[in-house]
């Protein structure tokens, strides 16, 4: 992920800080969903149960 950020910032001719500050809401959403899937068991197990696994 770091290499992609570095390459993308070089192509766009922006600093890494500018790119990261623009991506903050997306990182926060990713961390929120990761926390929910990790700590709420039924949220991550509904698909295997639905499929009968």
Mean pLDDT of all residues in 29-40: 93
Predicted pLDDT of residue 44: 83
Look over the chain and give the mean of its residue pLDDT values, rounded to a whole number: 90
Predicted pLDDT of residue 13: 93
Taking the whole predicted model, whether its pTM rises above 0.75 is answered as no
Assigned token pair, 35: 């926390």
Predicted pLDDT of residue 5: 87
Mean pLDDT of all residues in 35-44: 89
pLDDT surpassing 80 at residue 39: yes
How far is residue 50's CA from residue 42's CA, in Å, rounded to a whole number? 11
How far is residue 1's CA from residue 49's CA, in Å, rounded to a whole number? 32
Assigned token pair, 51: 């499929």
């Amino acid at each position: 992920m770091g290499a992609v950020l570095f390459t993308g910032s070089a192509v766009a001719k922006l600093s890494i800080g500018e790119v990261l500050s623009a991506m903050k809401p997306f990182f926060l959403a990713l961390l929120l969903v990761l926390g929910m899937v990790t700590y709420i068991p039924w949220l991550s197990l509904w698909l295997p149960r639905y499929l009968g696994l």
